[in-house]
Each structure stands twice: as C-alpha cells, then as structure tokens.
Copies of this chain bind each other. A is one copy, B any other.
Amino acid sequence: MNENKTPLGNLGKYGLIDHLAKKIKAENKSTIKGIGDDAVVIDSGGKYALVSTDLLLEGIHFNLIYTPLKHLGYKSVIRAISDIYAMNGTPGQLLIAFGISSKFFVEQIEEIYEGALLACNKYNVDLAGGDTTSSLTGLTISVTAVGTVDKKDLVKRDGARPNDLIYVTGDLGAAYTGLQLLERERKIFEQKKSIQPDLGGNDYVIGRQLKPEFPAGVLDDLRKAGIKPTSMIDITEGLASDLMQITRSSGTGCRIFHKNIPIDYETSRLAEEFNIDPLIPALNGGDDFELLFTVPLEMIDKVREIDKVKAIGHITEKGSGNYVVGADGSEVELTAQGWKKQ
C-alpha cells in the first residue's frame, strides 16, 4: 500500500489524467490514437473505428430535480456522439449501461431509454448495447459511442499551426446560464414549496441545458466544401478549456477576440441578471456541444460560405500563451477550469 496521500484536488481533472497517462504507452499497431483526444482511434483494416466513453453521475452531471428523464437520455447520447463528431467521424452505434438504485421504477428507466432512442434516431445511431446493474447510491449512466471515419478524414486535436484561424459553431455559454437559472429556481422552490419556478422567457438557455443538439451538419458542409480542419474538438468543458486542449496538443498558443465570441442575447441578459460578465459562461461554462476547429488562413473565403460558423481568433507560435483580446486591445490570459482545483 502506498502511504503517500496527495489530495485529488491538487492535480485537478486533467492533471490527474496527464499524471496517469505518463506511464501508458500504446503498443498495438491498431492503436492510431490513444489517450489525449476525443475518442480512441483504431485501425481494423478498413475505415478507422472511433470509440469514446462518458460516465455520468447523479448530482455531478445531472440533477434529477429539474432534469426530465427523457431529456437525460437524450443529452447522454448527444454527449457521447459529440466526441465522435469531434474527430470528423460519423457515429454509428451506442452502448448504454445504467447503475440504478432500487428507488427507480421500470417506467422511469424506459423514459431515459425513450429519450436516448429519440436522439439515436435523429442522429442515425443504433442503440446497440446495454447493461443495467443495481446501484446502492444514485443513478449512474455510462455511454460509449462508436463511429467510423475514412482514414484521410480523421481530424485530431494536435494539428493546429500558427496563423490557422479558429472557428466555433453556434453560440456559447447558453447551457451554463440555463443551468444557473434552474439552480436558482430550485433553491427558491426548496425554501418555499408554494412558489413555482419562474422560467418564462428563458426557453433558449433552458433548452440548451436540457435538450442540446450537435451541429453535425456543419461537418457535412465542411466536407462538401473540401475543407478539412487542421484540429477539432467539441466544446463541452467551456471554450477556454477546450481551446487550450488544442493549443496544448498542437504545441501552439492562441489569440481569440472578445467581440467575436458568439453569445446569444438571452445568455447575455441572464448573465447580467446574475451579475456576471457574459464572457464567463462563454469561456468557462460547459455543455455547449458546439464545434471548435482550426483551418489554414488561406481557406478563409471557403469557410465564409459555411453557415453557423464564426471565426473567433487565430493560432499563434508556441510559448506565446493563450489570450483573449478585449475591445480595448487588452489581453487576458485564458484559464481552463478543468486544469485547476475543482
């Protein structure tokens, strides 16, 4: 037994993964990409197979007080397949395993499955494997997504080069703001049960939190336009954290511009209601389920033709840091929540 006791918080989530990954070396020829990207890439002779797995825990990733079970199933699927899309792949199969406490009823599990099936049908994914096991504690959901990608189409995190443009899809920070709103109303409700939650006028941010979609169509559009990103990741931890995954893997820095970061009006309004700068949820909120990718500068005109994508900055040389540039030209260093103490 090892007697050293380093609190987990000292390393943080990514610190821990890095720390553990140091000892790990891929040996099999079929392992094209192991730890350190959205999905594992496996060469089985034809296309690459892509596999990613997510573990969702009650109280951490979802709160059953305000998460309808059907939405929980739906979002679990989006979360899993977004890792496959982020490697420019096409998800094909999904495996779901549940840890269920005895307080649950069959009909509730059916609701989660129904939500999962809805998402699977929408994104043309087969729910191909499942397992249920009893749990002594809360609800646990493990989702594994499997996909394929033509070898030439694979996009990893490590291909960004200085002067590449940085693009994002959709808008950012809405899901996090929706979560804050749901949390606020939950607290009010728990203090005084007679007060019903007031969520009116905030449908967009709540929808983004509870029933997110993934911009898979953008990948089709990029392929059709002959644009292959140099690097790509799905935005799930927050723009700052996910962008730093790219610059770190690619050995570069970046500059993104405050005024270019797409934030929905509802997100901005609510952030102000919460007395926070709307940039905070956009940079550090989670669950956006948007795409972040880089493209060589010379493709700028081609990318301009693609709907729903926006240039937010560019990749810089190694050692030049990761910065967000304000309207006045001031530069603030990006920090990624996941790298610090949680």
Contacts and interface: CB of A to CB of B under 8 A. Distances in A.
Contacts of A21: 130
Interface in A18-65: 19-21, 23-24, 26-28, 30-31, 33-35, 39-40, 42-49, 51-55, 57-61
A182 interface: no
Contacts of A10: 106
Contacts of A60: 99, 133-136
B111 A2 contact: yes
A5 interface: yes
A298 interface: no
Contact of A131 (B54, B111, B132, B137): B54
- Stoichiometry, as copies per complex, reads 2
- Give the interface SS of chain A, mostly helix, strand, loop or mixed: mixed
Interface of A: 1-11, 13, 16-17, 19-21, 23-24, 26-28, 30-31, 33-35, 39-40, 42-49, 51-55, 57-61, 68, 92-93, 95, 97-100, 102, 104-111, 113-114, 117, 124-138, 140, 142, 144, 146, 148, 342
Contacts of A59: 136-137
A222 to B, nearest CB: 22
A5 B107 contact: yes
A289 to B, nearest CB: 17
B55 A133 contact: yes
A129 B16 contact: no
A28 to B, nearest CB: 5
